[in-house]
Structure 1
Amino acid sequence: MNFSPAHALGAARPLAQTVFRVVTGFLFACHGASSLFGVLGGAHGGGTVPLLQWPGWWAAAIELVGGSLVALGLFTRTAAVVSSGSMAYAYFSVHQANALLPIDNGGEPAVLFCFTFLLIACLGPGAYAVETVLRRGVSSPADEGVVSVPTS
């Protein structure tokens, strides 16, 4: 049997996609929990955003719920699209007014989350997600569109 990096990477795709989705969702949910409940450093140095305040409270709610759903792999595509949109809104309404480029206006996390969630929305939840298990039982990576790479 021939070993090739392409084969190894192809075989690792389902696990890599799961880790990417879970870590991204978890980090996003932490932002929401921080702003809503004052944990993990809290919003703006330890506080919380006022209840129902626009847009801060709503953004934090999207971060907490959207990030949690993405991490679990439940309603993944919808949660990822909403989360991506909220970060695009944050970038253009908060950051871009300060400077054109993300490096100058502090908007790098918003841009990265925006495009990361867009990628997750396009890729879907992957083989190891709650919605995948609920939809058809525990599936094999081949069911999730993993293309096998010939070894010879």
Structure 2
Amino acid sequence: MAQRKSGDSSQAKKCAVCSSGSAVLPRSCSVVFSSLPFPSSSMRMPLFAGIAHRMHDNLYLLFRILVGFLFLQHGAQKLGILEGGFAMEGFMGFIGLCELAGGIALILGVFTRLVAVLGTILLIGAYTTVHMKGGLLPIANKGELALLYVATFLVLFTFGAGKASLERALFKKELF
């Protein structure tokens, strides 16, 4: 990192990606690259790092909305909505309603972390009670989608609703 020396009138160098901080490389950038190891300040920025850094809020918004839309569809399918009806029967009807509501919440960006925790619990339960009967490996027991949802919910739990969310717009912060 380049820092000002006492008596030095030159300006501190800024992040090559977002123009913040006091380093030439994004290792001082607090948004995306703070955890990446950059051994020297003369090292070049990784390919696509600049565009990824500039677009990370928009890409995360797209990610959250897509996960919400797909989760909503799974709930609608369980409830029979996609076939033109509505059947809230038993436990699967309750699960379908939870998936439908969770998908809507993710799309809007409200209670994202809560939906992520509940979705993770739901899908680990589905994997262990339904899919594991067909074997341990996800490819053999058709549980790939359940585990992929667990991975996406862990990402959603980690990052929350993001900057573009109804929760932030209404409350100026994330509640969950």
TM class by shorter chain equals: 0.7 to 0.9
- 2:71 corresponds in structure 1 to 28
Deviations 1:56-99 (A, max 9, x none): 12221121011110111011110111112111111111001111
- Overall identity of the aligned pairs, in %: 34
Structure with the greater relative contact order (CA < 8 A, sep ≥ 6): 1 or 2? 1
Q: Where in structure 1 are there 5+ consecutive unaligned residues?
A: 138-152
Check whether the contact 1:38–1:48 (CA below 8 A) recurs between aligned residues: yes
Instruction: Count the aligned residue pairs.
Output: 130
Deviations 1:78-130 (A, max 9, x none): 01111121111111110011111110001111111111112101111001110
Q: Where in structure 2 are there 5+ consecutive unaligned residues?
A: 1-15, 18-44
- TM-score (ref. length: structure 1): 0.77
Work out the CA distance in 1 between the residues paired with 2:85 and 2:126.
20
- Which runs of structure 1 show a deviation greater than 6 angstroms over 4 or more consecutive aligned residues? none
Larger Rg: 2
CA shift in 2, pair 1:13/1:47, >3 Å: same
Task: Specify the code of the residue in structure 2 equivalent to 1:128.
Answer: A
Worse overlay, 106-115 or 5-14: 5-14
Check whether the contact 1:83–1:117 (CA below 8 A) recurs between aligned residues: yes
Q: CA deviation at 1:49?
A: 5.5
CA RMSD of aligned residues (A): 2.2
- TM-score (ref. length: structure 2): 0.67
Task: Specify the code of the residue in structure 1 equivalent to 2:79.
Answer: L
Work out the CA distance in 2 between the residues paired with 1:12 and 1:38.
35
Greater share of residues in helix: 1
- 2:9 corresponds in structure 1 to none
